[in-house]
């Protein structure tokens, strides 16, 4: 198996922060993973896809395991297409190549950066669709025991930006392949945000083009302005909280989750806390998208953590709502929650 030591991860994360991996492994077979399960101590490594939902906030990281499972296999059935994809394949390339073959469904999820293997982890979603809508099963190998499992859609426990792969039992394992099923009976979904301007009879190609156009016009390209997309999750709160907030902020945007819970727009909260476009040192809040934190000038990961803590505090002070990061925060000892990260340098 290929591996490297003292490896700079600057080109391997979309915030473009520098951090050194003592060792990085590139497993590409189940046997490689079994070897790693014997060699690595539990919890002493981080699994990396393309690093577009990851922030390295210290000079060093733990060992990095970067799976390199490749391939796209398509099988036609009378009513649809089964597609099995290696976890290292790029998500957007998959979307484009399927739509080119007239296999429809993922058009709303175009241009989401990252790998196919990371997509089930937070159940990626955009414009009214999410991975869970088409994921049939996920092949996963434990890095503790070397055991392989195939989890059904139900066993993956998908919900908003969440799945079983974020829980302790499954965090220490590698997603090797993801299986999808796309029914031939396809329906356009255009009832979300900017897609509402499209006709409900639009083709998948028209939706794809619109999603690409809107995302390119709204979101900063990490290749030009390093970022990890939405830094915080949209908070889900009790309806009673919304009633209180609405009494003060009548234009507060809300999205119903169920009878008792409502999703708020984290970007709106940050913007109305006065932080849109806020710059501190080398890093800041994007001038058009308050939910996106950006690395303007070769900033460090701890500068971004410091900014995120400042945003959290400002939003709590103004609205009484605590924002939780969507981005995974990785220090030398592994993943941490933001409240446990103590910053040693003045940022
Ligand atoms: C500009 C921009 C826009 C974005 N827009 C969206 C959006 O609209 N919707 C959305 O949901 N997300 C969005 N994101 C976030 C990001 O694209 C997704 O979270 C994506 O799935 C991350 O893929 P990655 O390979 O880069 O993951 P990484 O950042 O490398 O890893 C993310 C998590 O997945 C785990 N992981 C990675 N590979 C594997 C594997 N093979 N097996 C097990 N665990 C693994 C990692 O350990 C980590 O916990 C955006 C990001 C950017 C930069």
In this structure, the residue with its CA closest to atom 36 of ligand 1 is 118
At 42 the pLDDT is 73
Picking from 303, 316, 287, the residue whose alpha carbon sits closest to that of residue 55 is 303
At 41 the pLDDT is 81
Q: Is there an atom of ligand 1 within 6 Å of 95 CB?
A: no
Query: By three-state DSSP, how is residue 332 classified?
Result: coil
At 345 the pLDDT is 61
Picking from 91, 219, 227, 233, the residue whose alpha carbon sits closest to that of residue 162 is 233
Q: Point out which residues pair with 20 in neighbouring strands.
A: 8, 60
At 317 the pLDDT is 97
The whole-angstrom separation of Cα 165 and Cα 49 is 14
Q: In what order do the strands lie in the sheet with 227-230?
A: 227-230, 292-295, 283-285, 279-280
Q: Is there an atom of ligand 1 within 6 Å of 125 CB?
A: yes
Structure confidence by residue, pLDDT tens digits, 283-298: 999 999 999 999 999 9
In this structure, the residue with its CA closest to atom 14 of ligand 1 is 229
Probe target for ligand 1 pocket from 113, 130, 293, with the most ligand atoms within 8 Å of CB: 113
What spatial distance separates the first Cα and last Cα of the chain, rounded to whole Å? Answer: 39
Q: What is the atom index within ligand 1 of the atom nearest the CA of 221?
A: 1
Spacing, Cα 126 to ligand 1 middle (Å): 13
At 347 the pLDDT is 53
Q: Is there an atom of ligand 1 within 6 Å of 325 CB?
A: no
| CA–CA–CA angle 27, 19, 117 (5° rounding) | 35
| CA–CA–CA angle 53, 208, 210 (5° rounding) | 95
At 346 the pLDDT is 54
Q: Is there an atom of ligand 1 within 6 Å of 190 CB?
A: no
At 130 the pLDDT is 96
Q: In what order do the strands lie in the sheet with 334-335?
A: 54-56, 328-331, 334-335
Picking from 124, 136, 30, the residue whose alpha carbon sits closest to that of residue 73 is 136
CA distances from 202 to 100, 218, 310 (A): 16, 22, 43
Output DSSP code: residue 24. E
Q: Which two tokens stand for residue 154?
A: 């139900």
At 220 the pLDDT is 95
Q: Which residues contact 79 (CB under 8 A, 6 or more apart)?
A: 183, 184, 185
The whole-angstrom separation of Cα 234 and Cα 263 is 6
Q: What is the atom index within ligand 1 of the atom nearest the CA of 67?
A: 41
Structure confidence by residue, pLDDT tens digits, 56-67: 999 999 999 999
Structure confidence by residue, pLDDT tens digits, 165-213: 999 989 899 999 999 999 999 999 998 889 999 999 999 999 999 999 9
Spacing, Cα 114 to ligand 1 middle (Å): 5
| Residues of the chain predicted below pLDDT 70 | 43, 345-347
Full DSSP string of 255-295: EE-SSSEEEE-HHHHHHHTT-TT-EETTEEE-SS-TTEEEE
The whole-angstrom separation of Cα 217 and Cα 221 is 10
At 9 the pLDDT is 98
pTM: 0.94
Q: Point out which residues pair with 55 in neighbouring strands.
A: 329
The whole-angstrom separation of Cα 223 and Cα 295 is 11
In this structure, the residue with its CA closest to atom 4 of ligand 1 is 229
């Amino acid at each position: 198996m290929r591996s490297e030591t003292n490896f700079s991860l600057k080109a391997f994360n979309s915030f473009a922060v520098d951090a050194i991996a003592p060792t990085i492994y590139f497993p590409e077979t189940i046997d490689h993973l079994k070897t790693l399960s014997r060699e690595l101590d539990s919890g002493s490594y981080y699994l990396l896809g393309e690093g577009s939902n990851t922030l390295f906030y210290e000079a060093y990281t733990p060992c990095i395991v970067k799976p390199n499972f490749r391939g796209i296999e398509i099988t036609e059935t009378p009513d649809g297409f089964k597609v099995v994809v290696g976890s290292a394949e790029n998500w957007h390339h998959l979307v484009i190549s399927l739509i080119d073959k007239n296999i429809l469904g993922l058009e709303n999820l175009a241009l989401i950066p990252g790998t196919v293997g990371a997509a089930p982890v937070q159940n990626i979603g955009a414009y009214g669709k999410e991975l869970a809508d088409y994921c049939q099963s996920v092949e996963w190998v434990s890095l503790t025991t070397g055991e392989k499992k195939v989890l059904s859609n139900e066993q993956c426990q998908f919900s908003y930006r969440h799945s079983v792969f974020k829980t302790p039992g499954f965090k220490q394992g590698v997603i090797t392949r993801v299986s999808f099923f796309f029914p031939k009976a396809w329906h356009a979904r255009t009832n979300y945000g900017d897609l509402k301007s499209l006709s409900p009879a639009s083709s998948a190609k028209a939706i794809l083009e619109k999603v690409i156009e809107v995302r390119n016009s709204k979101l900063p390209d990490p290749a030009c302005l390093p970022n990890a997309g939405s830094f915080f999750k949209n908070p889900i709160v009790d309806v009673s909280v919304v009633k209180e907030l609405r009494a003060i902020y009548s234009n507060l945007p809300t999205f119903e989750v169920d009878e008792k819970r409502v999703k708020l727009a984290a970007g709106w909260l940050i913007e109305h806390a006065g932080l849109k476009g806020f710059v501190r040192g080398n890093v800041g809040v994007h001038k058009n998208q308050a939910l996106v934190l950006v690395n303007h000038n070769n900033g460090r990961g701890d500068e971004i953590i410091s900014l995120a803590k400042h945003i959290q505090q400002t939003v709590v002070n103004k609205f009484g709502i605590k924002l939780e990061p969507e981005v995974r925060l990785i220090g030398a000892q592994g993943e941490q929650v933001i409240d446990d990260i103590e910053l040693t340098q003045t940022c």
